[in-house]
Amino acid sequence: QSRLETKWFGRKISYFDVIDSTNSEIKRQAEKEFIPGMLAIAEKQTLGRGRKERHWESPAKTGIWMSFAVKPDLPPYKASMITLVTALAVAKAIKDVTGLNTEIKWPNDIVIGSRKVVGILTEMSAEMTTINYVVIGIGINVNMESFPAELEDKATSLYIAGGTKVRRSSIVAKFGKYFEKYYEIFCKDGNLSGIKDEYEKLLVNRNKEVYIIEGDSRIKRVAIGIDTDGELLVKDDNGNIEKIMAGEVSIRGI
Ligand code: BT5
């Protein structure tokens, strides 16, 4: 099933053969007129980006490069939790359409066998206490048969992992359904309590050792899950639990 059956996700869609970045495009559109769930999809991006302006490889026709905007009635500091809501919805959509089991690399990547198959970039426009809009950008490697040398051992696609070509619109449609469901639960609760358990089931290296890298130090911990604000919970050898905020440190093994 590849038709959208959503209430508000993608009710306005702009489709491009080539664009700089779908995140930039949705921001330009939202600045003019914000429509909840407004969606931009491109066959190819020339300036696809990740966090900290890192390059996001977005070749023509083989991936899903899309961005959409929402406006949660929540304080701005909660916007980053939408990245986790999104990751769960993408992982569920991929599982339903392809049968492939993915894992979530907290907070914003989805991997198959430790290779990245999805990246998520959440950007916000906000005043002091209110969110104007949040743009959620998703890159999914769907049908590529290979990657440029620098990504060869870091990236994979649904095709490489599963051996069959996948209809991209089926994943977009399923994603929309899951996103609406999880996002509405998140907005009602104002935190991730309603999706935490499902998210944790998909967490890479849950209950295994991970390394927290801060400058030159490398600290061993066990990843045990997330809290309802989306922070990563880790445990030290004495059983003390610490919270790690996204963007604070880099985590290896998760
Ligand atoms: C991300 O950043 O993972 C977020 C990527 C978001 C991309 C989407 S596509 C639609 C929308 N429009 C945009 O312009 N962006 C969003 P980060 O965690 O910073 O990871 C970036 C790193 O992933 C790069 O430095 C590469 O190592 C790697 N990478 C680049 N392209 C990749 C790809 N196609 N598949 C897997 N890994 C890739």
Ligand 1 centre distance from Cα of residue 71 (Å): 23
pLDDT tens-digit readout, 183-214: 999 999 999 999 999 999 999 988 888 888 88
Percent of the chain with pLDDT over 70: 97
Percent of the chain with pLDDT over 90: 86
Please work out whether the CB of residue 49 comes within 6 Å of at least one atom of ligand 1: yes
Test site for ligand 1: of 38, 56, 136, most ligand atoms within 8 A of the Cβ = 56
What's the ipTM?
0.99
Q: Cα separation of 88 and 110, whole Å?
A: 9
First-to-last C-alpha distance (Å) of the chain: 33
What local confidence, expressed as pLDDT, does residue 208 receive?
A: 86
Confidence (pTM): 0.96
Which ranges in the chain belong to alpha helices (H)?
22-32, 81-98, 158-162, 168-189, 196-201
CA 89 to chain centre: 8
What local confidence, expressed as pLDDT, does residue 210 receive?
A: 87
Please work out whether the CB of residue 62 comes within 6 Å of at least one atom of ligand 1: no
Dihedral sign computed on CA atoms, order 47, 51, 52, 54: negative
pLDDT at 254 over 60: no
What local confidence, expressed as pLDDT, does residue 247 receive?
A: 65
pLDDT tens-digit readout, 14-46: 999 999 999 999 999 999 999 999 999 999 999
Q: Cα separation of 179 and 136, whole Å?
A: 11
pLDDT at 253 over 80: no
